[in-house]
Structure formats: structure tokens, C-alpha cells
A and B are shown apart, each in its own frame.
Chain A
Amino acid sequence: GAGVSQTPSNKVTEKGKYVELRCDPISGHTALYWYRQSLGQGPEFLIYFQGTGAADDSGLPNDRFFAVRPEGSVSTLKIQRTERGDSAVYLCASSPGGYVDTQYFGPGTRLTVL
């Protein structure tokens, strides 16, 4: 496909469970970003990969959140021991180069923690 894809589109889980959210960036894009967006707010930065490495992970709210991009393409955002406050839309974006490049968003994963 031509755009960024994310799976699943919706995820409902119970408090305390573990979830994985997947992002497939645009082919050839070296930079990948994870954001979290709550209703009425702008995207809140979580982590930024350049290739396989996390160039900046300081937006991750706590150590329950972790993301990987082992081959420099697909990325997985992992959330352990989910809490109700984790409920949000998790957005992935990719760009050809660095941070101020145009970022192309995926459709997001809506996570609901009951």
C-alpha cells in the first residue's frame, strides 16, 4: 500500500493487560514516530526512530511503554499493565528524513482500556 498502515484499528482490553500496536510505515521512510492523541488535543509525541534506533524516546510516559523497530521498517508499540488513562488513539507517522520533514500519518489505533 502507498500509505502508513496501523493494526489493529481498534483494541479493547482490560486494565492490567498487555497490548501491542503495529505500524507499517511508507516504504523507504527512515523516520518513524509514535504519537498519542486524546479527544480535542493535538498529537502528543511518544518516540521517534531513525532507522532501527530510537533517536528520541523521551515522550514515553513511563516504563510501561516500549517500542521497537528491529529491521528499520515495521514498528511495534508495546504497553504493559494497561491503565484506563492509556485509552487514546495511538498514531504512527513516517517521514523520508528527519523530524521537521513532512510526516505522513497512519489511521491510528483506538485503544480502550476498561
Chain B
Amino acid sequence: EDKVVQSPLSLVVHEGDTVTLNCSYEVTNFRSLLWYKQEKKAPTFLFMLTSSGIEKKSGRLSSILDKKELFSILNITATQTGDSAVYLCAVERRAGNNRKLIWGLGTSLAVNP
């Protein structure tokens, strides 16, 4: 059965700390892994990863995928209170014309001043 597991489920840090969020998966016909940030409402797309070992960066956020060990990490450096959110990982699988997006449960990050 396909599954996406995120850890930790929740995390509390202080401003300025660096955090690493984990996403491991067991998904057949893997196509891509996606990271989203969800605050109060709709999740905001962060990264799409398809190839191993290639880091994607956006400001203080970066992410990398390991397709051999079946996981991805999302790093946030110099955290700010505005980074407080739920970070969602999703894995896309494709089989022929069928396509599914399997979501993890998310990591709830709280950044305290």
C-alpha cells in the first residue's frame, strides 16, 4: 500500500533556529515529491522534486530528494515566526493514464520569538 510518512508530527523552535523536516515514502511508480506550506487555509506550493541529489532552494528554504533511500528533507534556516505552519509532503505516482497524489499528515512547525 502506498504511504507517505512525515516526521516529526510537530516541532517547536525559537527564531533563528534551523529545522529539518522529513518525508519518507513507499510509493510505486513514483513520479515526483512535492512540498507545500499550509497556514490557515490553502496549501502553498514550495518545491517539486523529481531527481535525486539535486537541491532546490528558495530563500531560506531548501529541499532534496533521495530516491534510493526513499525520502526527502525540507530545511529551513534562520527560522522566523512567519514560518509557523503545517508543512505537507505529497508524492505523485503515475501508472498509465492514472495519477494519484498521496499526502503525508504534515509537520506542524511553531516558531517562537
A-to-B contact residues, CB < 8 Å: 3, 40-45, 48, 56, 58-59, 93, 99-105, 107
> Closest chain A residue to B97 by CB distance?
A107
**A-side binding surface: helix, strand, loop or mixed?**
loop
CA distance A45 to B38 in the complex (A): 11
- Name B's interface SS: strand
Chain A residues near B42 (CB-CB < 8 A)? 45, 48, 56, 58-59
- Would B2 and A105 count as touching, CB distance under 8 A? no
Count of residues in B whose CB is under 8 Å from the partner chain:
21
B45 and A41 form a contact (CB under 8 A): yes
- CA of A107 to CA of B103 in the docked complex: distance in angstroms? 19
A-side contacts of B43, CB under 8 Å: 45
Minimum CB–CB distance from B21 to chain A (whole Å) comes to: 16
Contact partners of A104 in chain B: CB under 8 A: 98-100
What is the chain B residue whose CB lies nearest that of A3? B98
A residues within 8 A CB of B100? Answer: 102-105
The CA-CA distance from A42 to B50 in the complex, in Å, is 11
Is the pair A100, B34 in contact by a Cβ cutoff of 8 Å? Answer: no
